[in-house]
Amino acid sequence: MTRQRPVNSKFRPGFRIVVLISGRGTNLAAIIDAVAAGALPVELAAVVSNEPHALGIELARHAGHEVTIVRHRDFSDREHFEAALAEAIDRHNPDLVVLAGFMRILTGGFVQRYRGRLVNIHPSLLPELPGLDTHARAIAAGAEMHGATVHFVTEELDGGPIIAQAQVPVLADDDPDTLAARVLEHEHVLLPRTLAWFATRRVSLDGNRVLIDGTPALSHPLDR
């Protein structure tokens, strides 16, 4: 279904995002707060959860956002689940789909459908530590620096082009929980700021390279 826009030469279409979650939704809350504070010029068109009891569902509804639940367990295989997921997303005609703690691995077909329009936040300094348990693994590896990354999603797990990162030092007395909590605080800044770059059309993809205002992404400090 095509969304109707008002016919008005001064009308500048808004930047629409759909956010996918699986759990507590603190990154989603950071997005909602940034939009409310006027720091993130996007329209949060909808939230989709694959977990019917995800805590993020209530906070989204409480803030007045539509939530669709697409339970992966209701489908016989990934293809059928992803077809339903795509339908739930496409109904809202988003410019960008944001994985904010969405914990399902997506197949190549789904990723291709949203190529250049699908981003994820991951709790490590990619390409270091893709996958799960990143905080415990950072400590076990004796890493001095840890952090979070926002990246485009490709077929390779946590392997797509990097858009922005936040670095967090690992402290001598950190355990996985204290480190996770500190990284999460940075995620809550990193994700809305990165989405604001998209909303103001500053991000582009040159093959596999991310450009911000036409220059390579990782040469850009976060506070630009």
Q: Residue 162, Cβ neighbours under 10 Å: how many?
A: 20
CA dihedral sign, ordered 48, 51, 53, 54: negative
Taking each helix axis from N to C terminus, what angle separates 176-199 and 26-36, rounded to the nearest 10 degrees?
A: 40
- Give the binding-site size for ligand GAR (rule: CB under 6 A): 15
Alpha helices by DSSP H, 19-77: 26-36, 55-62
| Residue 187 binds to ligand GAR (criterion: CB under 6 A) | yes
Tell me if 24 contacts ligand GAR by CB under 6 A: yes
| Stretch in the footprint of ligand GAR (CB under 6 A) among 118-126, 138-146, 169-177, 206-214 | 118-126
**Binding of ligand GAR at residue 100 (CB under 6 A)?**
yes
Q: Per rule CB under 6 A, is residue 23 in the interface with ligand GAR? A: yes
If one asks whether residue 123 binds ligand GAR (CB under 6 A), the answer comes out as yes
C-beta of residue 100 within 8 angstroms of C-beta of residue 32: no
Q: Which of residues 41-80 bind ligand GAR (CB under 6 A)?
A: 56
Question: Which residues inside 125-184 make contact with ligand GAR, applying CB under 6 A?
Answer: 148, 184
Q: Are 157 and 130 a contacting pair, CB within 8 Å?
A: yes
Give 82 or 187: the residue with its C-beta nearer to ligand GAR: 187
Q: Which residues does the annotation mark as catalytic?
A: 122
Strand duo 209-212 + 215-216: pairing: antiparallel
Contacts with ligand GAR, residue ranges (CB under 6 A): 21, 23-27, 56, 100-101, 121-123, 148, 184, 187
